[in-house]
Amino acid sequence: MQFKLILALTDDSNVDLVLETARNAGATGATVVTGARGEGLKREKTFLGLDLARHRNIVLLVVEEHLSRSILEAVAEAAQFEDEPGSGIALQIAIEDAVGLSTQIRELSKKVEDEL
């Protein structure tokens, strides 16, 4: 079984939405890394002229490759990544190898078999 890593970088207000949407689309778990900092196309300044970097969270999802694109699209649509500037981004990366996923593999085998 092959996997992809989906990274979704978003505000605190969207984390629960991203997690719920990903699970509904087939993800079997996630890790949330808090305390990241993000900048958009233009640097935002405060009224005192200081740089204002937005607080971000990184949602990491290891997903089965046949489900990855639909999960990625569902997350992007739910969190309005394409419609709202500064709402966040999501991307997927191929995973060469992974361990510790035996429980997920048993569950995913059934799901992927049904999808195909």
pLDDT class of 60 with cuts at 50, 70, 90: very high
CA dihedral 91, 96, 101, 104 (to 10 degrees): 50
Predicted local confidence at residue 44, as pLDDT: 62
- Please tell me the distance from the alpha carbon of residue 114 to that of residue 102, in angstroms, as a whole number: 19
CA dihedral 51, 57, 61, 65 (to 10 degrees): -30
Give yes or no for residue 108 having a pLDDT over 80.
no
Task: Express each pLDDT in 6-53 by its tens digit.
Answer: 999 998 899 999 999 999 999 988 999 998 876 666 666 665 655 556
DSSP assignment of 61-112:
EEEEHHHHHHHHHHHHHHTTTTTSTTSEEEEEEEES---S-HHHHHHHHHHH
Predicted local confidence at residue 7, as pLDDT: 97
Task: Express each pLDDT in 66-97 by its tens digit.
Answer: 899 999 999 999 999 999 888 899 999 999 98
How many independent structural domains does the chain possess? 1
Predicted local confidence at residue 37, as pLDDT: 74
pLDDT class of 59 with cuts at 50, 70, 90: very high
* Selected residue with higher pLDDT from 99 and 70: 70
CATH for 65: 3.30.70.120
Cβ(75)–Cβ(19) below 8 Å: no
Predicted local confidence at residue 41, as pLDDT: 67
Cα 69 to Cα 20, 34, 65, 92: the distances in Å are: 16, 24, 8, 8
For residue 7, give its domain range. 3-115
Q: What is the pTM of this model?
A: 0.81
Cβ(55)–Cβ(77) below 8 Å: no
